[in-house]
Amino acid sequence: MDKRNLIIMVKCEIGRTYDVAAELADLPEGPVVYSTSGDFDLFTMFRLDNNDDIGHYVCETVQKIKGVRDTNTTVSYTHLRAHETREDRGW
């Protein structure tokens, strides 16, 4: 089954960033988790099946982790590589 990348920026309650990061990293969807500077504390990327309900996943899985204050979600479509040309992709 095809998968898609879901990028979720996470804002944490003060003092909870590392706890939230540890819980996110343990999720079965195999997330990548980075701490960041700026408006959000964590950058995460999950691999979900194309048939998965993104809204349900974010609301019921990510936002319910203790210490998560806010999220911003982006669905990524295509992984582009520097060495590829438009012709390689059929554009």
Q: Check whether 62 has a pLDDT greater than 70.
A: yes
DSSP letter at 62 equals: I
State the number of CA atoms in the 13 A half-sphere of 73 facing the CB.
Answer: 13
Q: pLDDT digit string (tens) for 63-91?
A: 999 999 999 999 887 777 766 666 666 65
- pTM of this prediction? 0.83
Averaged confidence pLDDT in the chain: 89
Question: CA 77, CA 69: separation in Å to the nearest integer?
Answer: 26
For residue 77, the model assigns a pLDDT of 77
DSSP letter at 64 equals: T
